[in-house]
Amino acid sequence: MSFVELFLVAVGLSMDAFAVSICKGLSAGKASFKQMLIAGAYFGGFQALMPLIGYWLGSSFEYLISSIDHWIVFALLAAIGINMVVEARKDSCSADTSFSAKTMLPLAVATSIDALAVGISLAFLKVEIVPAVSMIGIVTFVLSAVGVKIGSAFGGKYRSAAQITGGIILILIGTKILLEHLGIL
């Protein structure tokens, strides 16, 4: 997986956290720098941790499914991408104003579950995991912090577009990986 592809995966994965961050900023009113850092740390941290766990799981069971791993990668990325597009169409943006651990922890876990599946895919693709999770974590940190500010300034206007874009990116990368393994590209 090239640097550009990995960056696009990181952006795609971060779109759920970005959308939730926009909602958090919207609910917070005038967002502080501290709130931006809190959102970035929670979402970026969990977006980095989950693919690491997924990578470990994928590496542990790779020998059982190595002949169909490209189909699994495609299915996981496509399913995550389609789910993101469907969720974006629901047009809901409700988040409470708290940035406490009690509020942020469940949001961070919920928005990073898809990163667990991507981590499994990264194991099948033999991607170097430390640079990959670092990229995913940093991109998500930055976009989440910026999302709080955008939500504070502009409201939920960009939430849906961000999720749709992220979903399409993941679907396209999954398709590219499948077509490469089938020898079409």
Q: How far apart are CA 150 and CA 21, in angstroms?
A: 9
| Boundaries of domain holding 64 | 3-181
pLDDT at 46: 96
Please give the model's pTM, rounded to 2 decimal places.
0.76
Count of domains for the chain? 1
Structure-token pair, residue 14 = 């971060």
Q: pLDDT tens-digit profile of 75-122? A: 877 887 787 778 777 756 655 678 889 889 988 888 888 888 889 889
Q: Name the nearest CA neighbour of 13 among 107, 135, 181, 123.
A: 135
Q: Name the nearest CA neighbour of 167 among 72, 79, 64.
A: 79
Residue 94's contacts (CB-CB under 8 Å, 6 or more residues apart) are: 23, 27
